[in-house]
Each structure stands twice: as C-alpha cells, then as structure tokens.
C-alpha cells in the first residue's frame, strides 16, 4: 500500500469579480479571474484497506460527515468503486469564511490526492466534474491554473496573470455569502466583458461587485479596506471577509503587512499561476 501523502491546499484570490446576471435557478452569473497564492492548508492522506474514510482533525463548527474533505473522499470512492479508504488530517492555516476558498481547496486536494494515492488515474476533467457537485470553486482548484471563470465560476479558461506580492488582511469577522447574494442592493447587472478586456487589468474592470454591499453590512471590513487603500489599490476577494492589495516587491508588501498586523491578522503572499498542489504531484 502507498505511503501517506502530505499535500498543499492553496488559497485563491478573485482578482476581479463581476455579477452579470441572475439565473433561473437563483444562482448568480459571474465573471471572475482566479489566482492562486502561496498560503496553504496541508492535508495528509494515509491509505486504509478497510474502506473507511476518517478525518482525524476537528474543524470548528463543521461536523465530520459534513466536512468537504470527507464528502470529497466519499464521492470519489463511490464514483470509482475502489475498496480502499483513507485517514485524513488537515493542518488548517487559512481562515474559514474569508473568501480564500479554503474549504473548496481542501476538497480539491482530497480528490486529486486520493486519485493519486488510490492509483485511480482519473483525468483532472473528471475530478473537476465531481468537484462541482461539492462547490462552484472546487473545479479551479482541481485544474490547478489561474483562470477566467464564468457561469457560477465553473466555466474555466486557463490564463496567465501577473504574480505580484500581496498583502492579505482578515478583519476578524465572518461574512454570510448567502446574505450578500440575497441583499437587494447588490449589483447584479454589470455589463459582461470579454476575457481579453479583463486581462488588460486596472479600473474599472478589476473590481469586486460584492464590495459595496459587504462594506455596508460589515463596517470592520470597510475600515480595513479604507486603511489598505491608503497604501495601494485594494479589493475584496469573493464575498470576503479577506481583502488584498498588490505590491511590486516583497519588501514593500512586508512593510505594509507589518503595519496592518497592528490592527488585524495579515499575511504576505505571492501570486501564482500554477497551484502548489500540482507542483507537489508533478503535473505539467
């Protein structure tokens, strides 16, 4: 039986996020640019021959069977018909509910890692289809490349973005994603743009349509955004609570993060075009 694997589950940022409509199923139609960063949870996967799926780490507020890691493992097990199981341990570093995609990334690392551990040899496109059953952001983590996303974020086209140094701030509160998307003041009619236009970057294209509603509903986020905007153009990722700004050098990012750290949890990260998960497993 294969030896245990420890694999990264990286965070993502939405470098921009436009809401261009509302679908009949109630979901919102989006246009976004996903980019990975080098902040990661780490998931250890150890094979079992009894078919059991066990997550040994407790995640606050999430029951064992509802955890996306467990659900991903069981979904892959059922889909593939394997008799193998796994013991799973998560080293959680990313804040929950921060708009960094931590839960979706954990699920994707479980799918991709167990596909490798169990020697299933399923293609990434098949794993991404499975992942979509768990959440709209799971496929981008499975595919492992910066991407232009449309639909609910699941229609992906690989792109190459700049890779700045980033200051990321978490204002220490949790945002209700459903509350933001149900807010009557939310912009839902942004004019669709082409991928080429989005890749040119800059205002007004690189904005987050959720930001105005989030700032109104959560004053601590507005305070942090206004503070960071004094140092560089700043945006929310997803529906927050995390926000970020890009810098040309690691030194300048570290200086701002140190100042931010006097008020909020803050990190310096590097933008990436390929996922650390794919690097660890040798995907091209």
> Is the predicted pLDDT of residue 115 greater than 60, yes or no?
yes
Among 187, 198, 204, 206, smallest CA distance to 245 is for 206
Do residues 56 and 35 lie in contact, with contact meaning Cβ atoms separated by under 8 Å? no
DSSP structure string for 116-132: HHTT----HHHHHHHHH
Range 192-210 average pLDDT: 90
Q: Where do we find the tokens 């660890």?
A: 280
Range 187-194 average pLDDT: 92
Query: What is the C-alpha to C-alpha distance for residues 193 and 175, in angstroms, rounded to an integer?
Result: 27
Which two three-digit tokens encode residue 147? 């991407």
- What local confidence, expressed as pLDDT, does residue 20 receive? 94
In the chain, % of residues over pLDDT 90:
86
Checking 252-260 for CB contacts under 8 A at 24+ apart, the result is 252/165, 253/165, 253/166, 253/167, 256/167, 256/228, 256/231, 256/232, 257/167, 260/167, 260/169, 260/224, 260/227, 260/228
Among 12, 282, 9, 7, smallest CA distance to 147 is for 12
* Greater pLDDT, 3 or 42: 42
Q: Which listed residue (25, 38, 92, 137) is catalytic?
A: 137
Mean pLDDT lowest among 38-47, 80-89, 186-195 = 186-195
Residue 8's pLDDT band (cuts 50, 70, 90): very high
- Secondary structure class of 155 (helix, strand, coil): strand
CB burial string 62-91: b at 16+ within 10 A, e below:
eeeeebbbbbbbebbbebbebebbbebbbe
- What local confidence, expressed as pLDDT, does residue 284 receive? 54
Q: Which listed residue (12, 41, 209, 215) is catalytic?
A: 12
Instruction: Note the maximum CA span of the chain.
Output: 56
**41 belongs to the catalytic site:** no
> Is the predicted pLDDT of residue 153 greater than 90, yes or no?
no
Which two three-digit tokens encode residue 59? 């995640």
CA gyration radius, the chain = 19
Range 249-276 average pLDDT: 98
**92 belongs to the catalytic site:** no
List 10's β-bridge partners, or say none: 40
Mean pLDDT lowest among 15-29, 81-95, 270-284 = 15-29
In the chain, % of residues over pLDDT 70:
99
* Greater pLDDT, 143 or 2: 143
Pairing of strands 85-91, 155-158: unpaired
- What local confidence, expressed as pLDDT, does residue 267 receive? 97
Q: What is the pLDDT of residues 221-257, one digit of tens each?
A: 999 999 999 999 999 999 989 999 999 999 999 999 9
Asked whether the whole model's pTM tops 0.75, one would answer yes
- What local confidence, expressed as pLDDT, does residue 1 receive? 65
- What local confidence, expressed as pLDDT, does residue 154 receive? 84
* Greater pLDDT, 65 or 22: 65
Q: What is the pLDDT of residues 47-70, one digit of tens each?
A: 999 999 999 988 878 899 999 999
Sign of CA dihedral 193, 270, 55, 3: positive
Do residues 232 and 246 lie in contact, with contact meaning Cβ atoms separated by under 8 Å? yes
- Secondary structure class of 172 (helix, strand, coil): coil
Range 11-25 average pLDDT: 91
Query: What is the C-alpha to C-alpha distance for residues 172 and 182, in angstroms, rounded to an integer?
Result: 22
- Mean predicted lDDT score pLDDT of the chain: 94
């Amino acid at each position: 039986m294969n030896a245990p694997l420890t694999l990264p589950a990286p965070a993502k940022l939405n470098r921009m996020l436009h809401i261009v409509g509302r679908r009949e199923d109630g979901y919102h139609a989006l246009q976004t640019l996903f980019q990975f960063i080098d902040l990661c949870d780490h998931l250890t996967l150890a094979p079992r021959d009894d078919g059991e799926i066990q997550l040994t780490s407790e995640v606050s507020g999430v029951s064992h069977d509802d955890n996306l890691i467990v659900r991903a493992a069981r979904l892959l097990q059922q889909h593939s018909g394997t008799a193998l199981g796994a013991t799973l341990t998560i080293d959680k570093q990313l804040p929950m509910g921060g708009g960094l995609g931590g839960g979706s990334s954990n699920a994707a690392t479980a799918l991709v890692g167990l596909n490798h551990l169990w020697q299933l040899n399923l293609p990434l496109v098949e794993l991404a289809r499975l992942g979509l059953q768990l959440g709209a952001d799971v496929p981008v983590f499975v595919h492992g490349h910066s991407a232009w996303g449309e639909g609910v974020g699941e229609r992906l086209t690989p792109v190459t973005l700049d890779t700045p140094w980033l200051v990321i701030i978490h204002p220490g509160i949790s945002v209700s994603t459903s509350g933001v998307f149900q807010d009557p003041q939310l912009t839902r009619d942004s004019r669709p743009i082409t991928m080429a236009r989005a890749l040119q970057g800059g205002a007004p294209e690189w904005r987050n349509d959720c930001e105005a509603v989030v700032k109104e509903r959560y004053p601590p986020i507005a305070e942090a955004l206004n503070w960071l905007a004094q140092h560089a153009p700043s945006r929310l990722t997803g529906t927050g609570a995390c926000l970020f700004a890009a810098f040309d050098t690691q030194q300048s990012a570290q200086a701002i993060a140190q100042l931010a750290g006097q008020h909020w949890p803050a990190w310096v990260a590097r933008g990436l075009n390929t996922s650390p998960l794919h690097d660890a497993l040798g995907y091209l």
